[in-house]
Structure formats: structure tokens, C-alpha cells
Structure 1
Amino acid sequence: MVKYNEVGGFMKKIEDYVSNISFEEAYVKIDRNKIDYLIKGDSNAKFPIRIKKIGFLAISLFMPIMMILSYTSAKDNLVTTVFSRTIAITTATSLILISLFSYFKSRHFLKNYGYKEFIYSSLKILFLSYICGSIGTVDSNYIIHLVTIIIYVPTCLYLCYIVEKNMLIEYINLTFGKEYKTNKILSLLVKMAGIIMILGLVIVHLYRINKSWIDKDSINDSINGLGVSMTLIVIAGAFFMIIISLLPTYISFKADLRIQNKLVIKYSEEFREMYGYYKEEWYGE
């Protein structure tokens, strides 16, 4: 298994793996259609990439902006303090800045690849906004709630990071016939996130159809009858929350596009000449 002792070291390892791929190997696996997709996207798309990016920008900004509006107005139905409002507004502002940074950063990539990366970034920001949405609301367990979020968010971000890198290594192994070590547990976690998403959709659909049949008291009695301790419920809940943090990665992280982008940039002139792109078309001059 890969040892994830240092995030920076792991990132360097990915770059080393990409550097070990020759142009000849890259050329066999990356044809002109794939490069066109990195640059232009789907030729049959109804909306241009720029419009779609603005749409995802609006989605990623919606919840942080609503947080700021809610906590600055301090409505009667929200129990807050100056400290909690400051934390909430600072968090929301940070998410807005990260979203804007991701948007402008994506403009420096190949056009469609930058759009795909921005979708991934937007979904992560949307997830974090949902997790942090109530961070300014005070209750009897506010400090515990705040500490939980402070621990949970960095944990999720780190987990997403190492899962991304594991997926990149898996793609390199599968596509270029390498045998670099990967972490099977991380691969399993991503698959579990997909299963949970599908089950969640099914459960929500069934609940909407049959909610009048569901007796909450009988469900609670059944759980108590199984003798499940609160400790086990908390552990299971924590594990579930960790898994669902990988949903943005499962849905929108494209390991193939990221590696292809790295190789196209590395062998930029070679690919341009081999596939006959004009300099103006290739470099956007």
C-alpha cells in the first residue's frame, strides 16, 4: 500500500510517475479526439463552457452568500452570539473567496479540463457550505458542534486529497501498464460513497411514496430492541459522514482528464506538431 506520510511527498510522487511516462507512451493513449475534448469539450453541448462555468459558480456561491445574509440580519428564529456570527460570516467569506479563486484558476487550464476541475471544486464547496451552514447558530452544545466541524472539515479535505491521488495512480497503472502501489481501502471507500448515494436516492424515493406508513416510534423501538448502544450508533454515524464527504469526488473527479492534461502540457509542442494544430489554435494567440 502507498504510505501517505506527507501530503507534499505524495504530490511529488504523482509528478514523478507522470514524468516517467514517455511521449511515445502518451501518444499511444492520447489521440486527437481526447485532446480536442480537453480543449473544446463535447461538440454537441447545448451551452458553451463559459456559461456552464458561470452556472456552477452561482451554485457554489449561493449557500455562502445566504449564510452571510442570514447571520448579518440575525433573524429572530436564529439564536446567535457575536462570536458565533463572526465564525459563520468568516467561514462563508472564505468559501466565497475559494470559489472565486477556483473559477479564475480554471481559466489557465485547457478550456474544458478547467471546466471539469471547476465542477469538482464547486461540488466540494457546496458540500462544505452545507456542513458549515449552521455554524453560527448557538445551542446548548455549541462548542461541541463547533469543534466537531473544525475536526471534520480538514479530515474530509485530506481524505479527498489522498483518494484523488490514489485514483490518479490507479489510472496510470491501468492505462500505461505500470505497477505502482495503490491503497485498496481508499478505492473501496470511493465505491462505498457511490453505493450510499444510490441507496440514499432509493430511500428518499421510497420515503416520499410511503411516508404515511412509517411509524417513527416503531422504528425507535426496533433499534432499541436490537440492543444497539449509543456508542456504536455514534461510530457508525461518524463513518457514514466520512464516506459521504467523498460524494463530490465520486461524482465529478476525473482522474483520466487530470493525467491527460499533465501529459499534454508536458509534451505540448510534440502533441501540437504530431496532430497538426496551428500555433494560434494551440496557444490561443
Structure 2
Amino acid sequence: MVNRHIKMNSVSKLVDSISLKKSLENNSLHHIYETLNGTNKELFPRTLKIFVFASISWLICLFSAYNWYLFPILASVIIIVICIGYFRSSLYFKNAAYTFSVYLFTQTALIFYITSIEISDNVIINSTAACLYILFGYCLSFYIIKIKLIENVQTEYLADNEKLGKKKGTIKAVKMLSVVLMGFIVLIIAGMQFYRVNKWWIGESSSDALSGLNGTWVGMILSVLLIFIGIVILIIITLLPTLLLNASALVDGFIYKKYSEEFRKEYEFTEKEWYGE
């Protein structure tokens, strides 16, 4: 019954269940002040970094034109919407908007860069596969983000709520996925270094071995296995940007938005200090 109840809970419903008292306990004046004004440890202003991230993301997305000219247009629209969302956000939500925008820029750049890969000589097949991958990539990554947000809400704000269970299996799986993603990055770096040192003999030996398996059952099984491994690697690569998201900052932003006036009055901020210009 508890698990069924949790499955029906979205992030917004969980945030709505957090009391003002608990929200104030978890967000001190010092924490709020740093959220509004920053920590003074950043070398460049966030506005500049948003423009830089947006520009780099847009340039990378241009590669997707190899498969279909509409892909860069779609990516441009997404990037523009992200920028508008950031600049239109209130000052108290700027920190949350920033971390989410950086994640979205990175996720968008990666997804649309991968869509530039041609899997066949047929233009329609390439475009269709790319469209399906875009939908799959965003849906899967947003699901992982949702689970991370739910885990943060339950851990930081609802840990004492006995009526609310936890999606233990899913949350543990997402935590394990984060470890796998970090391990994958290390593995890629190590693999690149290994190949750089040993590429003189790897190329010759692998080509000779594979040529002898053509047309055999072992060759077919190996091909299927390689396709499966390739799909798994593609999924892992697609989810790498989820490591960039600061779930705590985003959840705090949702809390501030829910109790906007209550926080402002409690900590005696002016409307300009709280909402910005």
C-alpha cells in the first residue's frame, strides 16, 4: 500500500506535503543569503556562464544537421527556452534555475550531438532513429532526475514522516547508477590511455580475429552481444549529464517558491532583495 502511494506521488506533491516549520528549520538565514547573493567564490558571474554554456551547447547541437536540418532548429528552440526560463526566474529561484539550466544545456548538447551519428545509408532511417533517441534520451534522463529529487525531498525534509515510505528499490538503483556513471568516466579515461599506448598491436590482432568469425554462429552471437553492449553504453553516456544536477539546490528552490512570502517576511527581505528587479 505504501509503495503504491509513493508511485502516485510526483515531486510537486511531495513538496506540497512539506510544512513551513520544516522548511524554515532546513533553511537558515545564512543559507538563504548565500542563495540570493552567492558565496563570492565564483570567478565569473552566473549570467556570463549561462551565455557561455548556451553558446557551447548550441554550437555542439549544430552537428545534428548531418542527420536532419530540423534538429539544430529544435535544439535552438530548447536552448532559447532554457535561457528565457533562467532570466525570468525570481532572485530567490535563481540558484535552482542555474543548476537546472546548466544540466539542461549539457543534456541537450549531448543528445543532439549523438543524433548526428548515422547508423545507415538511408536518410529516413537515420532521421527516425534520431527522433526516437531524442525522445528516449530526454524521458530517461528526466526520470532519473525525478527520482533524485524525490530522494532529496524524502531525505532532507520528510525523513521523520512515518506515513510516507520511500521508493527504496528505485532510489537505490539510481544511486547505484550514479556510481556506475562515475566508474564509466574513469573507465573511459583509463581505456583511452591504454589504447593510446597499445594501439599498434590492438588494431592488427582484433581485425585478424574478427575476420575469422564472419559467417559463423560465434560471429552472430558476438554481433548481438556487441549491439547490446553498445546500447548499454549509449544509455550510460546519455545519463552522464544527470551527475551535474544539484538536486538539493533545485528542491530548495521549489520550497522557496511554495513559501515565497513566508520566507521573505520571516527573514525580513525586501521585495527587491527577494524577487529581484
Superposition TM-score tier, normalisation by shorter sequence: 0.7 to 0.9
Name the structure 2 match of 1:62. Answer: 59
Using the alignment, how far apart are the partners of 2:260 and 2:223 within structure 1? 57
Q: Structure 1 residues 156 and 237 mapped into 2: Cα distance closer, same or farther (>3 Å)?
A: same
What is the CA-CA distance between 1:22 and the residue it aligns to?
Answer: 0.4
Q: Distance in 2 between matches of 1:247 and 1:123?
A: 9
1:32-87: CA deviation from partner (whole Å, max 9, x where unpaired): 2332333333312111111111111111111234655xx6xxxxxxxxxxxx6xxx
2:155 alignment partner AA: L
Equivalent residues of 1:190, 1:246 under 8 A apart? no
Q: Distance in 2 between matches of 1:180 and 1:108?
A: 34
Report 1:34-73 matches (<5 A): 34-65=31-62
Matched, 1:191 2:190: no
Q: How far apart, CA to CA, are the structure 2 residues paired with 1:62 and 1:2?
A: 44
What per-residue deviation string (whole Å, max 9, x for no partner) do you get for residues 226-255 of structure 1?
Answer: x562111111111111111100111x1121
Selected match of 1:89 from 69, 80, 89: 69
Q: Which runs of 5+ in 1 are unaligned?
A: 4-8, 72-83
CA distance in 1, matches of 2:139, 2:82: 18
CA distance 1:105–1:260, change in 2 (3 Å): same
Q: Does 1:164 align with 2:157?
A: no
Aligned to 2:224: 231
Ranges in structure 2 where 5+ consecutive residues have no aligned partner: none
Structure 1 position 220, deviation (Å)? 4.9
Structure 1 position 134, deviation (Å): 4.1
Matched, 1:242 2:202: no
Between the two structures, name the one with larger relative contact order (CA 8 Å, sep ≥ 6): 2
Change (3 A) 1:2 1:218: farther
Paired with 1:260 and 1:32, the residues of 2 have a C-alpha distance of 13
Using the size of structure 1 for normalisation, the TM-score is 0.79
Conserved? CA contact 1:14–1:165, under 8 Å: yes
Asked whether the equivalents of residues 97 and 250 of structure 2 are also in contact (C-alpha less than 8 Å), the reply is: no
Contact 1:40/1:112 (8 A) holds in 2: no
Letter in 2 for 1:268: S
Other-structure match for 1:125: 108
Mapped contact 1:160–1:249 kept (Cα < 8 A): yes
State the 1:165 CA deviation.
0.9
Asked if residue 270 in structure 1 is aligned to residue 251 in structure 2, the reply is: no
1:78 corresponding residue in structure 2: none
8 A contact 1:39–1:111 mirrored in 2: yes
Distance 1:222 1:17 in 2: 55
Q: 1:214 to 1:174 in 2, by over 3 A?
A: farther
1:91-111 deviation line (CA, Å, top 9, x unaligned):
111101110110111113322
Structure 2 CA distance for aligned equivalents of residues 271 and 222 of structure 1: 67
Residue 27 (structure 1) shift: 1.1
| Offset, 1:139 | 5.3
Tell me the percent identity.
23
Partner of 2:84: 104
Give me the whole-angstrom Cα distance separating, in 2, the residues matched to 1:199 and 1:115. 30
* Alpha-carbon contact 2:63-2:113 (below 8 Å) kept: no
Quote how far apart the aligned CAs of 1:154 are: 1.3
Partner of 1:76: none
The alpha-carbon distance between structure 1 residues 67 and 132, as it changes in their structure 2 partners (threshold 3 A), is closer
AA aligned to 2:106 is L
TM-score (norm 2): 0.82
Alpha-carbon offset, residue 198 of structure 1: 2.0
User: Cα RMSD over matched residues?
Assistant: 2.7
Alpha-carbon distance, 1:282 to partner = 1.1
Match of 1:180 among 166, 189, 199: 166
